[in-house]
A and B are shown apart, each in its own frame.
Chain A
Amino acid sequence: MTDTNTLLALFKDVDPAAEAVERLRSMGVRDNQVDIISGIPLLETALGRPKKHTNVARLALGGAGAGFLLGLFLAYGTPYLFTVHVGGQPVYPIPPGIILVFEMAMLGLMGTAFLGVFLESNFPAYHPLKYIPEVSDGKIAVLFECPALEQEKFVQAMQALGAESVGTVEARQL
């Protein structure tokens, strides 16, 4: 097992970054060894990257179901647990139940979508992470793993494509 280093190449624009990704692929770096860090969301296809998979939508759907059940409990479970007669209205009313079920389902949907972002991204992440602050100024950082012995080759390849800076990156406290 050869030693791998993590390098970070900083680019100013989408085009050189996309070319860099392609060059890395041709130099034998696998897709899952490359990560792109950017200040705005970039289309994966713009950089020639495979689409990233997210579970947020599925979690949100599950949350909507949980909210649906909570709404049903509030509307029909609570009057069952403690029955009180009011105003000639049915004890288990349908129209108010619809309102409650809707609201709780939406709350579940959005609440779990929100928490899903945290869960999927491992937020909050206060431990040291591989990062470069120039990214928030609009630069695109290509993070990749390369064999330690061939580091020079990769650095030169990135610089040839117009990288503003190339170097090893250590995890740092953000």
Chain B
Amino acid sequence: MLATVKALFRPAAHSEEHEDPAEHLLLDARPRGEMNDMVMDSMHATSWKFWTVTMFLILTVLVCLVTAWGYMIAEGLGVAGVNQPEYWGIFLVNTVFWIGISHAGTFVSALLRVLKAEFRRPFTRAAELMTTFGLIQAGLSIFMHLGRVWLVYWMVPYPNERGLWPDFHSPLMWDFLAISTYLLASTMYLFLPLIPDLAMARDHSTGWRKIFYRILSMGFRGSESEWTHLKTAMNIFAFAILPVMFSVHTIVAWDFAMAIRPGWSSTIFGPYFVVGALHSGLAAVTMVLFIISRTMKNMKYFIRPEHFDGLGKLMLMITMTWGYFFFNDYIVEWYGGDTIARTLQKFLETGPLAWMFFLMLICNFAIPILTLWNKKLRRTPWVMFVIGLIINIGMWLERYIIIPGSLSINRMPFTWRIYFPRVEVFLTIGTFALFLLLYMLASRLIPLVPVWEVQEGQLAHSLSKFGKTRVATKAEIE
């Protein structure tokens, strides 16, 4: 362990990257058939460990999510910890957290595709799955917080015999439309590049799997016209889903910014939340990639230190951006002298939640900034997993500070109160368990690596002589 730590802090040799070209996935090409077999193999290989974890997760979901939520629906929200003035508690924290996680998929898949960052190729699907499953948890969390959840369909604008429509003045309605749009769009964007891989899986499967993949791949063969239609749609999606991604978390931020509460009514909340979402999302992608590469067969070939390195650089940039937006929000209220806003700041820094406030700053800013500049650390997957976990804890605490934390202080001092979660704890655990469960099941049903994109990248990359050394070159064959 000590040797590993020592090795982490030795300065990296500059020629390291050029020493071993086979270290790069896109320069370490294997025959497509072999890569196909590796991916199919990792789907089929289910050990007793897999089933134990799956059973445990199913149990957790049944107890912590289904039973606890059923109990809450039957009894009422009084069994949760929300009260006056914290009408919104951990349910909203979870909602914002999961939507933040879901931004990672789109960021990795769409933005990196638009910017032609080649290192994205092996993990776009793993990230996109996080988006869809994260949005499901966000949807569940927002349903949980409703007082009469069985009437949630009234938020859908449909013609009815009373002629009633929902109120589009409300940020919650913008939220509803934006999150629905994002969920549909990201699921479609997950599915489009998946079709060729489903076709590959169809060709390599027998039995019930073959029927399953045959139905899902819809007769895709890979003919010229099919590829043309697919690539055109994927390009449209890559560009179009980016503004949707930015708008979704901005609209979620506006749930808070449109309110006239101190600490909430901040004009910078829009971009602040978007950057926060990217922060926790990228950290979550790193965590997921570490788990996939360590627990699934053959994934070590596809997910390499270079990917953690690329993600780590992005995370460093986003950390600095997050710090910038946080400080912007903070100093404006600190300087402005509005009594109630300053009272809230003092409460957060010196009150009972002060430990949370400073832990958040340490986890979100201090630790990433102190570690992610180091290339050796970025290229060590378990270190990146730990940093990712720390960032996610910090971002969850940030949302806690913003939602139930800030709600404690308002303009009526007689109503100031502290929030203590009750059944929310179980429901939070339940949503995490459901996310992991969905992901584990998906990893056995859906090829996690887009092999055709990896092969495309490998065909485009080659080593060529540049002076005394050999460098990677990329051909524009798309």
Do the two chains touch directly in the complex (Cβ atoms below 8 Å apart)? yes
Interface on A for B, CB 8 Å cutoff?
35-44, 46, 49, 52-54, 56-57, 60, 74-75, 78-79, 81-82, 84, 86-87, 89, 93, 96-97, 99-100, 102-104, 106-107, 109-111, 113-114, 116-118, 120-127, 129, 131, 133, 135-138, 143, 174
Partner of B223, one of A36, A97, A100: A36
> Assuming A111-B184, A111-B188, A136-B203, is B232 touching A54 (CB within 8 A)?
yes
- Nearest-neighbour CB distance to chain B for A138, whole angstroms, equals 3
**Contact in complex: A60, B236 (CB < 8 Å):** yes
**Which chain B residues in 203-231 approach chain A with CB under 8 Å?**
203-204, 214-215, 217-231
**Contact in complex: B229, A120 (CB < 8 Å):** yes
**Contact in complex: A40, B455 (CB < 8 Å):** yes
**Contact in complex: B165, A96 (CB < 8 Å):** no
15 interchain pairs, CB-CB under 8 A? A36-B223, A39-B200, A40-B456, A54-B225, A78-B166, A96-B168, A104-B181, A110-B237, A110-B241, A114-B191, A121-B230, A136-B204, A137-B33, A143-B223, A174-B217
Partner of A99, one of B185, B218, B251: B251
> Assuming A38-B227, A81-B165, A174-B221, is B32 touching A104 (CB within 8 A)?
no
**Contact in complex: A114, B192 (CB < 8 Å):** yes
- Nearest-neighbour CB distance to chain A for B460, whole angstroms, equals 10
What are the residues of chain A within 8 A of B184 when measuring CB–CB?
107, 110-111
**Which chain B residues in 172-195 approach chain A with CB under 8 Å?**
174, 177-178, 180-181, 184-185, 188-189, 191-192
What are the residues of chain A within 8 A of B268 when measuring CB–CB?
none
What are the residues of chain A within 8 A of B204 when measuring CB–CB?
136
**Contact in complex: A103, B178 (CB < 8 Å):** yes
Q: Which of A41, A78, A122, A124 has most B Cβ within 10 Å?
A: A41
Partner of B225, one of A52, A111, A114, A127: A52
- Nearest-neighbour CB distance to chain B for A51, whole angstroms, equals 8
> Assuming A74-B168, A129-B219, is B185 touching A41 (CB within 8 A)?
no
What are the residues of chain B within 8 A of A57 when measuring CB–CB?
232, 236
What are the residues of chain A within 8 A of B215 when measuring CB–CB?
124, 126
What are the residues of chain B within 8 A of A123 when measuring CB–CB?
218-220
Mostly, the B contact residues are: helix
Docked CA distance A81–B165 (Å): 9
> Assuming A81-B165, A102-B247, A120-B225, is B157 touching A41 (CB within 8 A)?
no
What are the residues of chain A within 8 A of B386 when measuring CB–CB?
none
CB nearest to B163 among chain A residues: A82
**Contact in complex: A99, B222 (CB < 8 Å):** no
**Contact in complex: B452, A40 (CB < 8 Å):** yes
**Contact in complex: A35, B224 (CB < 8 Å):** yes
What are the residues of chain A within 8 A of B452 when measuring CB–CB?
39-40
Docked CA distance A123–B196 (Å): 13
- Nearest-neighbour CB distance to chain B for A32, whole angstroms, equals 11
CB nearest to A50 among chain B residues: B224
**Contact in complex: A110, B236 (CB < 8 Å):** yes
**Contact in complex: B228, A52 (CB < 8 Å):** yes
Contact with A along B228-244 (1 / 0, CB 8 A): 11111100110011011
Docked CA distance A82–B163 (Å): 7
CB nearest to A133 among chain B residues: B203
Q: A87-B169, A106-B243 are in contact. List 12 more A-B contacts (CB 8 A).
A: A38-B227, A40-B456, A41-B231, A44-B224, A52-B224, A54-B228, A56-B236, A103-B181, A104-B177, A110-B241, A126-B215, A174-B202
What are the residues of chain A within 8 A of B229 when measuring CB–CB?
54, 56, 116-117, 120-121
Docked CA distance A40–B163 (Å): 52
Docked CA distance A142–B320 (Å): 52
- Nearest-neighbour CB distance to chain A for B253, whole angstroms, equals 13
CB nearest to A119 among chain B residues: B229
In the complex, whether B31 has a CB less than 8 A from a CB of chain A is: yes
- Nearest-neighbour CB distance to chain B for A106, whole angstroms, equals 5
CB nearest to A118 among chain B residues: B218
**Contact in complex: B478, A43 (CB < 8 Å):** yes
What are the residues of chain B within 8 A of A137 when measuring CB–CB?
31-33, 36, 203
**Contact in complex: A74, B233 (CB < 8 Å):** no
Docked CA distance A13–B323 (Å): 50
Docked CA distance A170–B163 (Å): 57
**Contact in complex: B224, A49 (CB < 8 Å):** yes
**Contact in complex: A138, B225 (CB < 8 Å):** no
In the complex, whether B477 has a CB less than 8 A from a CB of chain A is: yes
**Contact in complex: B455, A39 (CB < 8 Å):** yes
Q: Which of B165, B174, B251 has most A Cβ within 10 Å?
A: B165
**Contact in complex: A99, B167 (CB < 8 Å):** no
